């Protein structure tokens, strides 16, 4: 079984710890799936027009990264990001059994397009706190694409009940199931007297 993970948050040369939780989750399922990761990252140090695609085997994962320039005015940066996603998508053909996107904008939007093209299911894990704001900072086209992607997702998995409520409050409709963040209780644990944790899933490292 082949799984494609799509995320704009993933460890990279600019931010080595960015999205390391996405990497950890991908590695966890790699025992049972052949996992490929597609990640797109802006590099503010590179000149306008810069784009670079890298393919690497990192542990149990096949990782495809596209770096693009983070320089220039806002419209230029948006176009550069779109072109980076397009280049990443163009490296794949059908053959995956499932797509797991992280963050509805952009991951879920890209996943929805590929899922329609290939005729396969896709799910979205939402981590972004933008949905907790009174009015999330989304452009009109982003909001339209995000709403469309959510409605076609086989499952939307916010990491907390509050995040789900925020998404629904902003009109993001779909099939929801809260899947809480995992926490290593040997490192992070509730203070004395606290019984139960509602927004995280606790596990013990073996």
CATH architecture of residue range(s) 2-203: 3-Layer(aba) Sandwich (3.40)
**What local confidence, expressed as pLDDT, does residue 203 receive?**
40
pTM of the model: 0.86
**What local confidence, expressed as pLDDT, does residue 141 receive?**
83
Domain boundaries, the chain: 2-203
Secondary structure of 54-94 in HEC code, one letter for each residue: EEEEECCEEEEEEEEECCCCHHHHHHHHHHHHHHHHHCCCC
**What local confidence, expressed as pLDDT, does residue 111 receive?**
97
Structure tokens at 65: 């990264």
Instruction: Classify burial at 99, counting beta carbons within 10 Å of its beta carbon; exposed 0-12, middle 13-18, buried 19 or more.
Output: buried
**What local confidence, expressed as pLDDT, does residue 190 receive?**
63
- Judged by DSSP in three states, 50 sits in coil
| pLDDT tens, the chain, 206 aa long | 999 999 999 999 999 999 999 999 999 999 999 999 999 999 999 999 999 999 999 999 999 999 999 888 888 888 999 999 999 999 998 789 999 999 999 999 999 999 999 999 999 999 998 888 887 777 788 888 999 999 999 999 999 999 999 999 999 999 999 998 766 667 766 666 654 444 444 443 33
> By the 8 A CB rule, do 111 and 124 touch?
yes
Distance, in Å, from the CA atom of 105 to the CA atom of 50, rounded to the nearest integer, reads: 22
Tell me which residue of 113, 201, 100, 117 sits closest to 154, measured CA to CA.
100
**What local confidence, expressed as pLDDT, does residue 125 receive?**
97
**What local confidence, expressed as pLDDT, does residue 133 receive?**
84
**CA distances (Å), 153 to each of 2, 51, 171, 175, in order?**
18, 30, 15, 7
**What local confidence, expressed as pLDDT, does residue 188 receive?**
66
């Amino acid at each position: 079984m082949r799984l494609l993970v799509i995320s704009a948050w993933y460890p990279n040369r600019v931010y080595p710890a960015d999205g390391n939780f996405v990497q950890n989750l991908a590695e966890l399922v790699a025992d049972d799936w052949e996992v490929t990761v597609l990640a797109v990252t802006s590099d503010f140090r590179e000149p306008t027009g810069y784009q670079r695609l890298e393919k690497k085997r990192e542990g149990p994962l096949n990782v495809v990264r596209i770096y693009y320039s983070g320089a220039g005015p806002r419209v230029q940066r948006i176009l550069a990001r779109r072109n980076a996603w397009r280049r990443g998508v163009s490296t794949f053909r059908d053959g995956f059994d499932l797509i797991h996107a992280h963050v509805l904008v952009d991951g879920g939007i890209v996943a929805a397009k590929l899922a329609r093209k290939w005729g396969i299911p896709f799910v979205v894990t939402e981590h972004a706190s933008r949905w907790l704001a009174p009015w999330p900072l989304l452009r009109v086209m982003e909001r339209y694409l995000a709403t469309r992607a959510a409605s076609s997702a086989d499952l939307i998995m916010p990491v907390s009940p509050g995040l789900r409520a925020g998404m629904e409050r902003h009109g993001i409709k779909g099939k929801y199931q809260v899947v809480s963040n995992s926490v290593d209780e040997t490192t992070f644990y509730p203070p004395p007297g606290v019984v139960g944790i509602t927004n995280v899933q606790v596990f013990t490292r073996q």
